[in-house]
């Protein structure tokens, strides 16, 4: 779900856009003109802006230009003109996509969702399996989009498994790889950490498979 700023001076159009964004699971802030939009942007972070060109006080091009001085949020511009020069001007100011009035609200929602997917796409170093995402650079772990807190060793275990899917490791091998050869504990340490790791992963703990008399493996 994203927070979307709708900048449109026509009340009927505001209602239509907001209704479709909410159908898509998003929430909306409404600005009646460019001045109000800029004030909202300064005080309330949003994920995307839908911006009309023709508005009182400040037009959409000016709003777009000033927005780019403080934010890189995606901007979809609404225009009553299909003039190529207007679109080129908008792209120069930082517009990401255009919709020409009259337009289909369904298409607008599809464009909004596509822009949001590109904007919030997973980092290049993300590892994925089922609903588990591990971001190596920040050592963050997400399950079904929600971040979970792992201890250092739990993270090391999960990261090791996810970088070696399908391979079987004995307890001794995991102990040596994760804890190091100088660790003085027993192989039961591995069992304890895998148990707590599975609990924190919830239903996604199923990816860590126990093999009787063999050890463990990670299945995607």
Q: Which residue has the higher pLDDT, 183 or 127?
A: 127
On whether both 113 and 130 belong to a single domain, the answer is: no
On whether both 12 and 58 belong to a single domain, the answer is: yes
CB burial of 37-76 (b: ≥16 within 10 Å; e: otherwise) equals bbebbeeeebbbbbbbbebeebebbebbebbeeeeebbbb
On whether both 82 and 156 belong to a single domain, the answer is: no
Phi, psi of 186 (to 5 degrees): -105, 170
Least confident of 7-21, 84-98, 161-175: 84-98
Query: What's the mean per-residue pLDDT of the chain?
Result: 90
Query: What's the confidence (pLDDT) of residue 123?
Result: 63
Q: What is the DSSP string of 108-167?
A: HHHHHHHHHHHHTPPPTTEEEETTEEEETTTTEEEETTEEE---HHHHHHHHHHHHSTT-
On whether both 143 and 208 belong to a single domain, the answer is: yes
On whether both 88 and 19 belong to a single domain, the answer is: yes
Which of 107-116, 121-130, 160-169 has the largest mean confidence? Answer: 160-169
Calculate ∠ Cα 41-44-46, nearest 5°: 75
Q: Given the structure tokens 């998003």, which residue do they identify? A: 26
Q: What is the rounded CA–CA span in Å between residue 47 and residue 185?
A: 48
Do the beta carbons of residue 68 and residue 94 sit within 8 Å?
yes
What dihedral do alpha carbons 147, 153, 158, 163 form, nearest 10°? 120
Res 122 pLDDT > 70: no
| pLDDT interval class at 47 (50, 70, 90) | very high
C-alpha 177: how far from chain center: 32
Q: What is the mean pLDDT of residues 45-55?
A: 93
Q: What is the CATH number of the domain that holds 14?
A: 3.40.50.2300
On whether both 104 and 18 belong to a single domain, the answer is: yes
Q: pTM to 2 decimals? A: 0.57
Which of 71, 102, 119 marks a domain boundary? Answer: 119
Query: What's the confidence (pLDDT) of residue 117?
Result: 82
* 84, two tokens: 């190529």
Query: What's the confidence (pLDDT) of residue 213?
Result: 87
Q: Compute the Cα dihedral for 167, 171, 176, 177 and give only its sign.
A: positive
Residue 149: give the domain boundaries. Answer: 126-218
The crossing angle, in degrees rounded to 10, of helices 84-93 and 60-68 is: 20
On whether both 208 and 132 belong to a single domain, the answer is: yes
Which of 75, 97, 119 marks a domain boundary? Answer: 119
| Domains held by the chain: number | 2
| DSSP-assigned beta bridge partners for residue 211 | 215
On whether both 56 and 15 belong to a single domain, the answer is: yes
Q: What is the CATH number of the domain that holds 173?
A: 1.10.10.10
Per-residue pLDDT of 129-183, as tens digits, reads 999 999 888 889 999 888 999 888 899 999 999 999 999 999 999 999 998 876 7
On whether both 111 and 134 belong to a single domain, the answer is: no
Which of 1-10, 73-82, 179-188 has the largest mean confidence? Answer: 1-10
On whether both 83 and 190 belong to a single domain, the answer is: no
On whether both 165 and 95 belong to a single domain, the answer is: no
Which of 63, 86, 119 marks a domain boundary? Answer: 119
- The answer, yes or no, to whether the previous bond of 7 is cis (omega within 30 of 0) is no
On whether both 53 and 139 belong to a single domain, the answer is: no
């Amino acid at each position: 779900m994203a927070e979307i700023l709708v900048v449109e001076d026509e009340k009927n159009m505001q209602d239509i856009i907001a209704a479709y964004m909410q159908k898509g699971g998003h929430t909306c802030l409404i600005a009646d003109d460019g001045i109000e939009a800029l004030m909202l942007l300064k005080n309330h972070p949003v994920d995307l802006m839908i911006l009309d060109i023709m508005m009182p006080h400040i037009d959409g091009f000016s709003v777009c230009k000033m927005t780019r001085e403080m934010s890189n949020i995606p901007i979809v511009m609404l225009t009553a003109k299909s003039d190529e020069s207007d679109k080129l001007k908008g792209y120069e100011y930082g517009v990401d996509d255009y919709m020409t009035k009259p337009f289909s609200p369904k298409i607008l929602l599809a464009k909004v969702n596509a822009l949001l997917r590109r904007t919030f796409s997973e980092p290049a170093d993300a590892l994925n399996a089922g609903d588990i995402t591990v971001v190596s650079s920040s050592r963050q772990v997400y399950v079904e989009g929600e971040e979970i807190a792992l201890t250092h060793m739990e993270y090391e275990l999960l990261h090791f498994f996810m970088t070696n899917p399908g391979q079987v490791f004995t307890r001794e091998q995991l102990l040596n790889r994760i804890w190091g050869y100088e660790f003085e504990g027993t192989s039961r340490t591995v069992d304890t950490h895998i148990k707590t790791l599975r609990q924190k992963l919830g239903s996604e703990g199923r990816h860590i498979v126990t093999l009787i008399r063999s050890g463990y493996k990670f299945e995607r």
